[in-house]
Amino acid sequence: MQRAANSMSVIKSPTENSGRVQKFAADRMLGKLAKWLRAMGQDVIYGQHLSGYGLIRAARAENRLILTRDRGLKKKQPPDFLFVESNHYREQLRQVIKACGLNPLVNAFQRCLECNLILQPRSKASVENMVPPYVFSTQENYSWCPKCQRIFWPATHHERMIEELKGLEID
């Protein structure tokens, strides 16, 4: 009973904002912001076709929050959107994190930065011939993207990105 009570206390309420994943549609001017949001585990569609009415259609089809720097968009009767104020991705990230109540680290590195798909775990044995030998000999945990089929492992660039995400935490 005691154990059960303790473990219950650490389970997050589903209504808690910090670990939630928001669905976004980022306009084509916001590629760097889109990648950083994906690094945080957020569900972001982004592409050259996503501007103006194309962006509005895509957002409406999947009930996504639009991120845009296009001041003219609001005249086109878009669904919910967030006007991104800054030109710089760090400021953009801060604005989105704050506006949507996101936690930068809780869901970090669960998604392919290129494809936006959730990464799937792979056993070490199954990647032996797919990663460089020095990686295989030093890393234990692997995942892969079912779309681009790239294999991922925790690497130093993740550490740098984590430092950067930590630096964004909002007071």
Burial of 51 (0-12, 13-18, 19+ CB in 10 A): middle
Which lies closer to Zn ion via its Cβ, residue 114 or residue 169? Answer: 114
* Binds Zn ion by CB under 5 A, chosen from 53, 88, 120, 148: 148
* Binds Zn ion by CB under 5 A, chosen from 147, 155, 160, 167: 147
CB of 111 to Zn ion, least distance (A): 9
Write out the binding residues for Zn ion, residues 111-130 only, by CB under 5 A.
Answer: 112, 114-115
170 touches Zn ion (CB under 5 A): no
Stretch that binds Zn ion, among 23-31, 44-52, 143-151, 162-170 (CB under 5 A): 143-151
Counting residues that bind Zn ion (by CB under 5 A) gives 6
Stretch that binds Zn ion, among 14-22, 55-63, 104-112, 121-129 (CB under 5 A): 104-112
CB of 97 to Zn ion, least distance (A): 24
The per-residue DSSP string of 60-124 comes to: HHTT-EEEE--GGGGGG--SSEEE---SSHHHHHHHHHHHHT--TTTTTT-B-TTT-PBPEEE-T
How many other C-beta atoms can be found within 10 angstroms of the C-beta atom of residue 15? 6
CA 124-160-98 angle, 5° bins: 110
Question: Kind of pairing, strands 65-68 and 81-83?
Answer: parallel
Which residues contact Zn ion (rule: CB under 5 A)? 112, 114-115, 145, 147-148
